[in-house]
Structure formats: structure tokens, C-alpha cells
Structure 1
Amino acid sequence: MINFAPPAYGKAALHRSTPATPTAPAQTAPLSTAPTAPTKTGSTDLMDAPSNWDWRQLRDYVMRSIAERHGPQPAGDEIKIQSIFRSFAQRWGNQAGPIARFAFEQQDGFWRNAPVTASRFTKGNDPYFAGPISERLADA
């Protein structure tokens, strides 16, 4: 249980903060009723077959699937994420999309008892991740 009582030792025990006095609410201007431009929330990967995805569609699908299955992820380096998916799409060509879909739809976002993250799509993970999945897809 968390104790919210004031601390009894250290600098915090010597420094007492006084509560702020309430102030009058600030005057606000009425909200504008002018129409605004719609924000882009669509996913481009939903329009094409996975074998036709480019690296952007692959990235969008994977990052959305990670968030859906494993919860929000800390914001990473966008340049690093971009290079991972560009490289993966170049290495695996038209198999890149089906490999990603297999990882999330057939395996529910887990591969070998570990969550699938963006780092699974790096070149160093190919022998352990994309290679075996590609073989399974070829056999099916």
C-alpha cells in the first residue's frame, strides 16, 4: 500500500509546501465551428494483398499489430524503424508481407515464446524468424 503521508526524514521533512489558493476560472473564447480538415487515420496496407506491400505498408501493419497485441510501445527511433522495414522488404521481396501476417495472425504475435517486435525483422534474426516462416509458407 502506498503511503501518502508527508515524509518524516530528509530534506522533504524540512520543506513544507503550502497549498495554492484557488483562483477564478480563466475566461475562454467560444470554440470555433469552422470545419477542419479530416486527419489521415487510414491504413494503406488494408487495400493491397500482403504480397504486394511496399516497406511502408509492411511497417504500418507490423507496428499496428504490435500495439494491438502487446500494448503501446515506447517511441523508438523512426529512422531505425524505417531502415529495418526497408531492408526486410528488400531481402524478402513479395514474401515480406505474408511473413509478417503469419507472425501476427497465425502465431498471435509470438515467435518461439517471445513477443514479435520490430527487431525481429532485422537481418540478424532472419535465420531464426523469417527463414523458418518462409519455409512453412512454401510448404503450405
Structure 2
Amino acid sequence: STISSPPSGDESATYEHAADIEESRRSGTQPDVDPDQPSETAANEPEAGWEGKQRIQLSREMEAVIQTLTHREQAVISTLVEHGGRMTQAEIRYETKTPKSSLTGILISLERRKLVTKKEWGRTNIIELSEWFLSQRERS
């Protein structure tokens, strides 16, 4: 399932899987919000209108960066590229068949290298290709 926009409504819900997010979008519920955390609604919610299926064209620069990664890191980046650069961590896990703990380490490594960003949305992590990585496109 893909996330097209954040749900709108008053009820709270807990998200553990991408399917829960999609279901909440249809039912109008929202993720739990920690009252002790500052509100960063715009930064944490998926953007409205995101379709998630536009495949990203890789440039030579992007391919060169990918070649420096391990096979598992390459699998994560390739999966993100195929799905428009944005997926939930659970979707990546199912798509790449990577165990939870392994994927967490891979994502930490990719974040350190500034290739992906992680945004928390309730109990779900939204993983996106970074602006830096996407800026490595062919320059005309």
C-alpha cells in the first residue's frame, strides 16, 4: 500500500504497518501524538498528493554513489528508487526481505552518509531519498 496523504480526524490510532496507515487514511484516524514532544506536524506527516509510484531516473553520479554501498544498502536504495523515493520502513522491510534489526542498522548507515532521511509519523518511520542524493542527477 502507498501513503497518499496524512489522515484527518480527531481519533488516535497506533500504526505498526503500512496497511494500518492506509486503513487509517480511509477511516479518518490519526497517529498517536506525544504531548511532551513539540509539534512538528508539517515535518512529520507525509505530504499531500504524494503518489509514490514515480520511478526515479538514475544519473551516472547516482549510480556511482550506489556502487560504493553494500549489497543490502544497494537493495534498500534500489527499492526506494523504484517506489518514487519514499516508503515506510515496514514496506522496505517486506520488499527487501530484510530482518527488522538488520534494516535498522542499514538505515542508520545510509542516514550517516546523507543518502536517506527518516521521518517519524506516529510509530511508523517514513524513509525518503535525501535531497543531496536526488541532486546528483545529470546536469545540463
TM-score normalised by L of structure 1: 0.24
Name the structure where strand makes up a greater proportion of residues. 2
Which structure has the bigger radius of gyration? 1
Q: TM-score, normalised by structure 2?
A: 0.24
Higher relative contact order (CA 8 A, sep 6+): 2
- Bigger share in helix: 1
